[in-house]
Structure 1
Amino acid sequence: MLGVLEGFTALAVLIALGALLAHVGFLTYASQTMLVRLAFWVASPALLLTVVADADVRVVLSASLVASAGAIAGSLALYLLLSRLLARRPAPETVVGALCSMYVNAGNLGLPIAAYVLDDAALVAPILLLQLLVLQPLALAVLDRTTSGRAAGAGHILLRTVRNPLMIGALLGLVLALTGVTLPTLVRAPVDLLGAMAVPAMLLAYGVSLRLGPRPGAGAPVAELALVVGLKIVVQPLLAHLVGLAVGLDDSALYAVTVLAALPTAQNVFVLASRYDRGVVLARDAIFLSTIGAVPAIVVITALAA
């Protein structure tokens, strides 16, 4: 428990530093954009490449992936069922709501929490790959079809998928892990240096967004907002724990998949909602509230695991 609190303290200090630097005017929206771009396009792919390359392949492609997939599928099924009882929403808004209830912030928060709370950044690789390779392409295909009136071609969807830098880094690392190839020091050393920038850059940028970003309003329907946030930070980790028990995960792996399932809704969902102009307010508020609720949820999970 002490190690978890120490890990969260380290994350909180960097987030608070980002907010403070934004408050005094040292960091601006432009700074936040630069930090996010640096983390997304350069540092995070480098970090994923190294942590997946060094990971035991049995960990990346293991029962943990089954537990994460089961939790995501369960949250999706419950959202589709319960949301229809609240109101019949158009397909694009339904896609955004479903993403809010199951799409984990594995990049911005998952990597640092896996690294500093769970002591192994590779633990986030299974759920990250699942989201990048399955959930995001499917969501994009449905959104393209339901907003433009025409289906996106398989080549278009594949191109979008393979151009994601996080996926590229994770897949390259997976190839190295599967083949047993070791990068020469002249290549590995600069990649390690780039990867070391990822967590600080993401946390500082998040702190800037908390200080300078818009505060959530009351635009999203309260019932649906409560539904997606509840599914995200309560139901999904519970399902991950139950599926993990069913597939025989040991205590440490079970704790890891439960904690990662309790992470808040990913900021990618807001980007997708804004891109298609569907469910934007719901995505924004769900990200904000689930981010606030994720910390006590993870603390409770840790206390119960102890």
Structure 2
Amino acid sequence: MLGVLEGFATISVIVAVGWLLAHLRVLDDSAQVNLSRLAFYAASPALLLTVMQRTPLDAVVSRNLLTSVTSFVVIAVVYVLLARLRWPGQGMGSQLIGSLSAGYVNAGNLGIPIALYVLGDVAWVAPTLLMQLLLITPVYMALFDSDARGERPRLLRSLRRMFSNPITIGAIAGLLIAVLDIDLPRVVSDPIALLGNMAVPSMLVAFGISLRRGPLPAAGASARHVWTIVGLKVLAMPAVALGVGLALGLRDQALFAVVVTAALPTAQNIFTYAVRYRREVTLARDAIFISTFAAVPVIIAIAGLFHAVAGI
């Protein structure tokens, strides 16, 4: 369980730095926006390119991938249905942020260390990471762009925007480099890696600024909405993954991996998307903050259950 705690502790420290800098008035709201833009337009694409080019592709096409896709789709659909019943009047952008907050897991800066220390191999998180980068993110970016322009989504227009978004470009470029087995010269790869290393710290510092400058997490009328998303993320999603995995014949370590991955908290980049498209920034922030803490006992409980039942 040390890997779980180390991963969460690392994130908490960087968020605390952002909070402190905002508290001391070194950084303000404009810094939050600028850091998010830096992450969205430059650092995150570079990070995704770096991650994708070293993702083991032979571990991707599997029942693990199908389980991850199905789990996300189920949770996203459930959220949209609940939102229309309980929070009518939401626009498409708000529903996009809500469904991402409920189903898009922190497979990068939390998933990788947890896969290494809890699951024993980073390859276990690769299918979810690839699914989110190459399937979920491009589709959502195209829908966000349409919503920001006040347009109805159209297939050709969405496809064009899908492949012009910096996040999507970075992921696809990394995948092509991996598939074609291209060895980038250091004069190219080193600057990309250095820029990519800025992505997660930028997101987390911006997140910390929001915690200090914005309202308290899950305060007031939004509390029920936030807790609904958190419940879907850390409780319902691993339960769905367990059911789907069993139905697909996953057992033992493979089943353990998909359930733990599904229980990971909401990814920090959802906050970046919310800031970029000016949709439900506080909701995304609160869902990330609370799900990050709520996921710790859930993952520990899942590990204990599989250890008792399957000896893992």
Per the alignment, in what secondary structure is the counterpart of residue 166 of structure 1?
A: helix
Question: Are positions 1:237 and 2:242 aligned together?
Answer: no
Contact 1:270–1:280 (8 Å) recurs in 2 = yes
Q: Deviations over 1:7-47 (max 9, x none)?
A: 22222222212212222222222332332222222222112
Distance 1:295-1:90 versus aligned 2 partners, 3 A rule: same
Cα distance, 1:162 vs structure 2: 1.9
Cα distance, 1:81 vs structure 2: 5.0
Superposed, which structure 2 residues align to 1:57-96 within 5 Å? 57-80=57-80, 82=82, 86-87=85-86, 89-90=88-89, 92=91, 96=94
Contact 1:273–1:283 (8 Å) recurs in 2 = no
- Among candidates 104, 109, 112, match of residue 112 of structure 1: 109
CA distance in 1, matches of 2:112, 2:57: 18
Question: Are positions 1:15 and 2:15 aligned together?
Answer: yes
CA distance in 2, matches of 1:23, 1:191: 32
Cα distance, 1:168 vs structure 2: 1.0
Unaligned runs of 5+ in 2: 117-121, 308-312
Contact 1:15–1:204 (8 Å) recurs in 2 = yes
Match of 2:271 in 1: 267
CA distance in 2, matches of 1:36, 1:82: 29
Match of 1:42 in 2: 42
Deviates more, 1:280-289 or 1:197-206: 280-289
Match of 1:166 in 2: 167
Distance 1:18-1:130 versus aligned 2 partners, 3 A rule: same
Unaligned runs of 5+ in 1: none
Match of 1:134 in 2: 139
Match of 2:310 in 1: none
Q: Deviations over 1:75-105 (max 9, x none)?
A: 2343455556x45834736x73475245445
CA distance in 1, matches of 2:189, 2:281: 40
The percentage of aligned residue pairs carrying the same residue is 39
CA distance in 2, matches of 1:33, 1:118: 31
CA distance in 2, matches of 1:98, 1:112: 22
TM score, norm. by length of structure 1: 0.78
TM score, norm. by length of structure 2: 0.76
Paired AA for residue 298 in structure 2? A
Match of 1:154 in 2: 155
Match of 1:100 in 2: 98
Contact 2:79–2:98 (8 Å) recurs in 1 = no
Contact 2:234–2:294 (8 Å) recurs in 1 = yes
CA distance in 1, matches of 2:281, 2:111: 29
CA distance in 2, matches of 1:31, 1:156: 32
Paired AA for residue 118 in structure 1? A
Contact 2:260–2:302 (8 Å) recurs in 1 = yes
Deviates more, 1:289-298 or 1:22-31: 289-298
Match of 2:28 in 1: 28
Backbone CA RMSD of aligned residues: 3.4
Residue correspondences, number: 294
Match of 2:119 in 1: none
Distance 1:116-1:39 versus aligned 2 partners, 3 A rule: farther
Match of 1:52 in 2: 52
